[in-house]
Amino acid sequence: MRPAPRFFEDFQVGLRFRSPHEIPVTAERIKAFAAEFDPQPFHLDDGAGAGAFFAGLTASGWHTAAVAMRLIVDSDLGLDGRGAGVAAESMRWPRPVRPGDSLRVEGMVTETRPSRSRADRGIVKFQATAYNQRNEAVLEATHVVMALRRGAAPGCR
């Protein structure tokens, strides 16, 4: 069960979060995502992947990032509708994601500050790492979101 959505004031540096479940990555999902969004041979075809840089079929990094985003939304971070991404300051893929991997996310809030331009919002920065079932990091990212302050109406400008 996800926690109630947090307001800016509820985020503290050091707040840790984690996904409540894992998402399995299948060859079919890898190929479907790649066919639509990243049609490179090593994401589309087992044989082409075997002869490529990754020595086998691998998920697109953007597929991995999309899975991680779902896991962040489902996590106990609590952004649910009260925060919107404004930047991904860094993103790296230290290991490829392969068919049969199952991903989960853990992270921590690293910075909070009131918005200089929007009095009804604050800036929250957090690091998130996606791990496979062997506890190997497959994605490391730093995100920046704008979160509503307590008392601000959602959708206000």
Q: What is the pLDDT of residue 68?
A: 98
Phi-psi region of 81 (alpha: psi -120 to 50; beta: other; left: phi over 0): left
What is the Cα Rg of the chain in Å?
A: 17
Q: What is the pLDDT of residue 54?
A: 79
The pLDDT confidence band at residue 5, using thresholds 50, 70 and 90, is: confident
pLDDT digits (tens, 9 = 90+) for 84-100: 899 999 999 999 999 99
Q: What is the pLDDT of residue 1?
A: 61
Query: Alpha helix (H) ranges present in 5-143?
Result: 27-37, 41-44, 46-50, 61-74
pLDDT digits (tens, 9 = 90+) for 113-133: 999 999 999 999 999 999 999
Structural domains of the chain in order of their starting residue, each with its CATH number: 8-148 (3.10.129.10)
pLDDT digits (tens, 9 = 90+) for 39-86: 999 899 887 766 677 788 999 999 999 999 999 999 999 987 777 899
Residue 130 burial (10 A CB sphere; 0-12, 13-18, 19+): buried
Q: What is the pLDDT of residue 153?
A: 64
Q: Tell which wins on pLDDT, 107 or 81.
A: 107
CA–CA separation, 63 and 156 (whole Å): 32
Neighbouring C-beta atoms of residue 31, cutoff 10 Å: 18
pLDDT digits (tens, 9 = 90+) for 29-47: 999 999 999 999 989 988 7
User: 76 and 104 in contact (C-beta within 8 Å)?
Assistant: no
